[in-house]
Amino acid sequence: MSHQGVKTITAIATPPGYGGIGVIRISGSESLALTHRLLRESSRSSLMPNQAEFHQIINPDSGVTIDEAIISYFKAPHSFTGEDVVEIACHGSPVVLSEVIRLLTTFGAELAQPGEFTMRAFLNQRIDLTQAEAINDLIHSQTTFQARIAARQLRGELSRQLQPVKEGLVDLIVHFESSVEFVEDDLDPLNLNLFLSRIDHFIDTLAHLASSYRVGRIIRTGIKLALIGKPNVGKSSVFNALLGKDRAIVTHLPGTTRDTLSESFSLNGIPVNLVDTAGIRETEDLIEQIGVERTRTAISEADFVIAVVEANSSLPADEIELLDQFPVNLYLINKCDLGLRIPEKKIKSLANRHAVFHASALTGEGIEELKQAIHHQIISGNQTYVESAIVTNERHYSALEQSIGALKQAKQDLTAGFTEEVALANLHQALRSLGVITGETLIADIINQIFSTFCIGK
């Protein structure tokens, strides 16, 4: 996608299909002139900035009224894109919206590319790149929690956290550049310790942000959670209990689940793709063998694995050995309503290696505690991240790691007695890496790639 600021662009900004309202957006220097051509001549002079006005939309060739609409005009630079913007709120008929778009393109507007409105807002410095990406995240949010995190990024929270580090780096670079320019003597030990302390502070700040990505990635993309266990331990019942609805077929017969079954739900705002797997056992049944193989694949792809065992069994050693082949995060002792037969020493042995929970999928006992335990392990005590700036984007995380690496190298150079000139290269690199996050030092191809993931009309 190429940005051509001289062109006026247009697109439908509301989702495809029928609805009460459909919005057409126009951005560029010709926005107002093109809109005037959709109105009767007597109405054209009434469009004033920052006011919503009722108008009839007409076909200028025939004079026939196409629709009645509310039109809002935002004069540059006080608009989302920083250009003249007009929004036309018609009735939500695809036929009406398509006809208005057709007329606008006939008048000379170009159809907007995906994300082009937001890209113009970025290029015109109305928002930085973290805020632009937050818009996309907000649009694609699956839970209110995701939406809340994206809205915080949209307000510039991450940029605000980075700004003091960027300003501090600039100050340090200016000081070192001056030293190089005027060929001062070696650094005074007191000044050296001060500079090293400042670099340590920058590293700590950025490292704290980078460490939030472990949780941020999960918040943004969700997790895949697999239930595993031998046949007839109640995995499908646990699956249904976690979902809060009957999705998997449940019978008393072993091997009812022959294939993996997946369904999505939200766990305290984190999207979870829950996978019910075929029971793991040696079998001669060809179909069941295929199911077990798919189970192994599902486990290898899972972010979180729950091993389900029966409360009313002796939990033989071979069952534990079988389950311990896999990266189990939590053991669930199911069917507690039938009584607990597992020897206490076996439960203690499991608890020494894994979190262990008791539940009855049939009665619902312990299911809520299980959900909270899963959430706690996922977040792993990092609730503080949720209440402040959090890194949810892999691109941001990678840039932070690069900046931290450059700062550590600069510190190592200064500690080893190298001149400021040697450390300067790494300080500049650290600053450039932070600029990559907010978009100040990104090349055009990467910017185009980022905005190409947006929907048309945004």
Structure tokens at 367: 């299911």
Structure tokens at 120: 């113009």
Cα–Cα distance, 49 to 79 (Å, whole number):
10
pLDDT on residue 387: 55
Q: What is the CATH number of domain 139-212+389-439?
A: 1.20.120.430
The string over 113-125, giving b where at least 16 C-beta atoms fall within 10 Å of a residue's C-beta and e elsewhere, is bbbbbbbbbbbbe
CB-based contacts of 26, cutoff 8 Å, min separation 6: 8, 9, 10, 34, 35, 85, 86, 87, 88, 104, 109
> How many other CB atoms sit within 10 Å of the CB of residue 185?
6
- Residue corresponding to tokens 């335990």: 373
pLDDT at 260 over 70: no
Cα–Cα distance, 98 to 96 (Å, whole number):
6
- Residue 170 · residue 431 · CB < 8 Å: yes
Pick the CATH number of 9-128 from 3.20.20.70, 3.30.1360.120, 3.30.930.10, 3.20.20.210: 3.30.1360.120
When mean pLDDT is compared across 39-48, 265-274, 283-292, 312-321, the lowest value belongs to 283-292
Answering whether pTM is above 0.85, one says no
Q: Could you give the angle at which helices 157-181 and 129-139 cross, rounded to 10 degrees?
A: 160
- Residue 86 · residue 125 · CB < 8 Å: no
pLDDT on residue 253: 44
Mean pLDDT of the region 152-177: 90
Range(s) within the chain of domains with CATH label 3.30.1360.120: 9-128
Q: What is the CATH number of domain 219-381?
A: 3.40.50.300
pLDDT classification of 257: cutoffs 50, 70, 90? very low
Summarised one tens digit per residue, pLDDT across range 323-350 is 888 888 899 999 999 999 888 888 888 8
Range(s) within the chain of domains with CATH label 3.40.50.300: 219-381
pLDDT at 184 over 60: no
pLDDT on residue 193: 86
- Residue 9 · residue 87 · CB < 8 Å: no
Distance of CA 113 to the CA centre of its chain: 22
pLDDT classification of 181: cutoffs 50, 70, 90? low
Mean pLDDT of the region 39-56: 87
| Coil/strand/helix, residue 305 | strand
pLDDT at 205 over 90: yes
- Residue 240 · residue 250 · CB < 8 Å: yes
Range(s) within the chain of domains with CATH label 1.20.120.430: 139-212+389-439
Strands 65-74 and 52-58: antiparallel
Structure tokens at 250: 């449940």
Cα–Cα distance, 140 to 454 (Å, whole number):
10
> How many other CB atoms sit within 10 Å of the CB of residue 144?
10
- Residue 451 · residue 116 · CB < 8 Å: yes
> How many other CB atoms sit within 10 Å of the CB of residue 89?
19
